[in-house]
Structure 1
């Protein structure tokens, strides 16, 4: 990607919505939230109004809708609890060094960290080292106290809870999914284990190609209620009706890694069945009420009140940092052990890297996927939670670093941002490596 000036980027042609339909990435400066004036006025002008149907497109609607999702969709609160706020300590002196940090981008051209943030359409970014905030920045116009949709970072929260239930003996990773959910007996999950769902190595006949209007992910989004369902639509209109319709893939379970959000929706269903709690209540009781969060979070719901377990969690940037720091500290945070250290050890161990490599995700070289987390296997032992349109948790235990990023990138796939993010994270780690606690 060619850099032109400190904040500008040369326009790059990418697929945004469907095969054969290309568009150009806008200059990030031209789609600043504070200048767009979306949903401003009483009523807003017609060209500035955003409805549920316009949640995702046309761009730049996501620059507003990603941190106003509960105004467009039904949602369920994840309460912060009655404990006081855990104040995030701060350490000054590195902000400018981080902003000016330069690394080599994928095209061989130098890129500053500020340019990296602009080019990934960041809504907010926060970096901590050794438990202290060393960098925090928001796009102009983004409300700091309004939760932002995490998309698939939600999966990693659900995966962490599943791993904790396994640790406690409440969930058997070797049990068949249908032992917990007989409703899926005739589906593609027949014969798959809970662990295979956690690692996304259960094989189902389902495609998740965000740039393909004919992909099965469109059927999933309609069932989840992510967009209005046409009156004559013949398919399922809620998640519990949709999941049993997905059939088996061609490969045996456990042999191949294929990223599928519907696996996490099944996992969320399993957890609800095992605990008797909604996904929101489970996150609230086990994690959110213990973090000393500043704000309530919330989860988006389908038409029957079922949470989007694979995509629907909404939180503020600082509260996401609290969650990430808890994981970095092996589950200990705010004066209590929130999840067991063994849970984090299990996730960090990763999975079969050759199976991952065969999936063709060349923009994540050397990675594996374990319990809904991305494992880098780099020298620092970094792990990540990733969501479409640029959402990210990056945890580097080797240098005591956490970075959380909320974004509204025009392109959904992480293939667009990871070639920039990997060298940016390596350069950031090198800058902080000698920074004593």
Structure 2
């Protein structure tokens, strides 16, 4: 009987320990899910956007051991009178303006500070594009006209089977993906729950089966396309994105602080919107592209890729904003005017003819309203033309 009693006791201990472990695991999942549900609430959004690592799985992107590249300060610029009301209306939290490579304006709002590593949202897509250009030039990826399944075999038989890398870079994959942030059942929100619950982003992409048109026939903004590009990169190199971005882009750029990516439960970087940097380092990226991929005395991104990725090559509708390889090109833009942008008011605006870069972060809960994006571009152009 004593032996049976000891055996039962051991079983109970195992079950108790298992319950504790499961409880802790579920608590972490529940915490992240609650964070997703309150991420954009009015009372939390500003704090959340500067502290994403407090609520979500993440991985560092090392800046390396090199010195910080100089980003000098020039004479303070007198910004147009329209800027102050725009800052208030658009809930801007940071604004950094460069002219000829020097900071001529830098300001922070809503209790934030220069050292906050702010969420990029879709500005991160342009960083992955830059990395892609390096890897193509190095030969790790033979051609952007290769099918994505050549490098990402998990996508065979799914919605992306038949799309080329170029199609996906251009957001013309033809894959059906609902990007309605207001619909809790939309694909973009389902994807957010995948991230919060520590599931697999690769698995989510591989499960997509539907297309709405032939690949390359029509442009439609599909955020999961950018994750597919990361699957191509990882398949081609056998290395994680955070490591590659550090080595190829971030360390050579000499940024001030090591960024970080949000990740899924498998440590896979959330490349379509999970990069976090300080605003001055976003401006460094813009300056790199203004200087045709050269920064800190190094040709970081091939000049040819900079040229190709920032012109409107995607099959967008007539009269609509243009799109390149994960970069936006405004209507009526002269050669060398383009931008990266993310939801809630994140921008890196480049105006090469004027020698101007503008990096801005915001917590603009009205970013979806008609005319807001056009208003933002108009303000950037006004600032650039005033310098």
- Secondary structure of the residue that 1:137 maps to in structure 2? strand
Are 2:71 and 1:88 equivalent residues in the alignment?
Answer: yes
- Cα RMSD (Å): 1.9
Q: Distance in 1 between matches of 2:345 and 2:40?
A: 16
Are 2:273 and 1:303 equivalent residues in the alignment?
Answer: no
1:315 maps to which of 253, 257, 277:
277
Q: After alignment, is 413-422 or 85-94 more displaced?
A: 413-422
**Structure 1 residues 431, 367: CA separation in 2 closer, same or farther (over 3 Å shift)?**
same
Task: State the shift of 1:413 in Å.
Answer: 3.6
Are 2:181 and 1:198 equivalent residues in the alignment?
Answer: no
Q: Distance in 2 between matches of 1:415 and 1:307?
A: 32
Q: Is the Cα contact below 8 Å between 1:317 and 1:405 reproduced in 2?
A: yes
Deviations 1:33-80, CA, capped at 9 Å, x for gaps: xxxxxxxxxxxxxxxxx9624541422311101110101111111111
Structure 1: stretches of 5+ with no match in the other structure = 1-49, 103-111, 230-236, 359-364, 433-437
Q: Distance in 1 between matches of 2:207 and 2:221?
A: 18
Q: Distance in 2 between matches of 1:415 and 1:285?
A: 40
Q: After superposition, where does 1:376-395 map in structure 2 within 5 Å? A: 376=330, 377-379=332-334, 381-395=336-350
Q: TM-score, normalised by structure 2?
A: 0.87
Are 2:216 and 1:254 equivalent residues in the alignment?
Answer: yes
Q: Distance in 1 between matches of 2:59 and 2:40?
A: 24
Structure 2: stretches of 5+ with no match in the other structure = 1-32
Q: TM-score, normalised by structure 1?
A: 0.77
* Count of aligned pairs: 353
Deviations 1:267-325, CA, capped at 9 Å, x for gaps: 11111111222111111000111122111100001112111110110000111111111
Larger Rg belongs to: 2
- Secondary structure of the residue that 1:383 maps to in structure 2? strand
Are 2:93 and 1:123 equivalent residues in the alignment?
Answer: yes
Q: After superposition, where does 1:409-428 map in structure 2 within 5 Å? A: 409-411=364-366, 413=368, 417-428=372-383
Deviations 1:231-274, CA, capped at 9 Å, x for gaps: xxxxxx32122111111313111010010110001111111111
Deviations 1:328-370, CA, capped at 9 Å, x for gaps: 1111111211111111111233214xx3126xxxxxx553111
Deviations 1:376-432, CA, capped at 9 Å, x for gaps: 251253110010110000000010000000111114548563131122122222212
Q: Is the Cα contact below 8 Å between 1:331 and 1:338 reproduced in 2?
A: yes
Q: Is the Cα contact below 8 Å between 1:220 and 1:242 reproduced in 2?
A: yes
Are 2:62 and 1:79 equivalent residues in the alignment?
Answer: yes
Q: Distance in 1 between matches of 2:245 and 2:370?
A: 29
Task: State the shift of 1:129 in Å.
Answer: 0.6
1:145 maps to which of 84, 94, 115:
115
Give the equivalent residue in structure 2 for 1:4.
Answer: none
Give the equivalent residue in structure 1 for 2:316.
Answer: 356
Task: State the shift of 1:135 in Å.
Answer: 0.6
